[in-house]
Structure 1
Amino acid sequence: MIELGEVREPVASSATAPSEETEVHTRILRLALGIEEARAYWAHMDPAVPPGARALQAFDQRWFGAKTLERVKTLLPYLAARYDAFPEALDVLRRWRHMDPAARQVICHWHVQLSDPIYRRFTGEFLVERRTLLDPKVHRPGVARWVRQAFPGRWTESTIVQFASKLLSAASEAGLVSPKRDPRSLLFPKVPDDAIVYLLHLLRGIRHEGSLTENPYVASVGLADGFLDQRLRTIPAVTLRRMGALVELDWAHPTLTAWAEASL
């Protein structure tokens, strides 16, 4: 595959291909990164069960432990938006039984980015820009100010404060910022090789802004500015070559499913 600027593989440009979410919403106020909830969802979710019947099934089978039926009813649509929207990826996640915790962390982070344009901008732009400062830290008032300026006139002040808290909580779960107290230090999570391959295969099959090697997903976890190139030199599943602005990617497997069947 050849990349130049915005060019991506034909499959990703198809009108029928899944797409990253572009409509602003407030779902993150009720579920931050949700790593453990996602893990339970991947393990139990059966696509053959109609969505309307899943809540009672999940509650009866205690997918989410002791959570109430009302909470389960809230969780399932949010998890569906993050994972069901990308059917091939969900099928791989359902069968990926021995996932490294570090891979699970960044995969949950990327799927929240895919499904939430606010979180995508926060982690793929705002936090990336903060890292260039002499004192790269972040605090809730600063995040609230960013929300207020990025989405002017959209929410009340109390909702903006909630967004700041939930964005920081999700970023902390993702390993991008330190937990609990302000000001928070900016961190980078561990990104295992198989998580990188998963992301690149996922992105090549969906519609998204940017290219496969320059986008908010790789930038948010510290794989921009040539770091992705360095990592791919040791990962046989994807070979990357650059000639100026021209990028060539060669794939050891034709699809995400094929890679998973051969590698996981």
Structure 2
Amino acid sequence: MRDALAASPPPTRPPSSPPDKPTDEREVHSRLLRLALAVEESRAYWEHVDPSVSRSARALVSFEQRWFGGKSLERTRDLIADFIARYDAFPQALTVLRRWRGMDLATRQVICHWHLQVADPLYRRFTARFLLDRRSLSEPRVDRDSALRWVRAEFPGRWSESTCVQFASKLLSAASEAGLISAKKDPRSLLWPKVPDLALAYFMYFLREIRFEGTLTDNPYLASVGLEGGFLDQRLKNLPGITFHRMAQLTDFEWAAPDLVSWAEVTL
């Protein structure tokens, strides 16, 4: 299977995309205030969730079976609601994540980061615009005050000051857990997370099956982890299940599997 894409000008949503494809979230919401990246909670969800159990009953089942340890029923409901938005909205991805045993920590972190970006446009903007802009400074650092100023500037008058402070804190927490910035103490250094080949191959197949902002080689998801330009090209040439070539302004993908689930069955 082959996709050939002209690098310029890139359509935001290819007109040939089937209308029933899942799409990345475009409406800004406040779910991040309830839950940041939640890498270990996500792993527990993938290991236990049964999609045949109704979404309304899932919170009670997960609470009774203690998927998330001793968390309260109210907290468990919040977790389940957020994970449904992050993972159940993309059925093929959830199928693969449920079956992916032995996933290492670096892979879990970057996959959780990408899924949160897809499900949350505020986090997507923060990690793929604000943090990238900060990297161009003479001292590439970030702290709560700069994150708070960014939230205020992006959404003037939308939220109260206390809510803006909460958003800034959650954005920093999620980015830290993803390995994009150092932990805790301000000012925080900007980091590049490790992106294993299996994680990148998974996400390329994932992107191929959704409608999203950008193209396969130019999008906020890959840019947020430092995968752009020639460096991305080199990484794409070594991925399991994908053959990639670039000739001038033309990029060419050959896919060994027809979809994400088929790729996982062969590769994982």
TM-score grouping bracket, smaller chain normalisation: over 0.9
Instruction: State the Cα deviation string for residues 20-46 of structure 1 (Å, max 9, x = none).
Output: 000100111110001111001000000
Match of 1:167 among 167, 171, 183: 171
Number of residues of Structure 1 aligned to a counterpart in Structure 2: 264
Residue identity matched to 2:89: A
Q: Aligned runs of 1:1-264 on 2, under 5 Å?
A: 1-4=3-6, 5=8, 6=10, 13-264=17-268
C-alpha distance in 1 between matches for 2:15 and 2:103 = 27
Alignment partner of 1:226: what SS?
helix
Residue identity matched to 1:77: A
Alignment partner of 2:24: what SS?
coil
Distance 1:150 1:248, change over 3 A: same
Alignment partner of 2:28: what SS?
coil
What residue ranges of structure 2 are gaps of 5+ in the alignment?
none
Write out the 4+ residue segments of structure 1 that deviate beyond 6 Å after TM superposition.
8-12
What residue ranges of structure 1 are gaps of 5+ in the alignment?
none
C-alpha distance in 1 between matches for 2:201 and 2:16 = 16
Cα distance, 1:12 vs structure 2: 7.4
Distance 1:173 1:12, change over 3 A: farther
Distance 1:184 1:261, change over 3 A: same
Contact 1:11-1:206 at 8 Å conserved across structures? no
Percent of aligned positions with the same letter in both sequences? 60
Residue identity matched to 2:96: V
Contact 1:239-1:251 at 8 Å conserved across structures? yes
TM-score for both structures, normalised by structure 2: 0.95
Instruction: State the Cα deviation string for residues 120-156 of structure 1 (Å, max 9, x = none).
Output: 0000111111112221101111111111111111101
Please give the root-mean-square deviation of Cα atoms over the aligned residues, in Å: 1.5
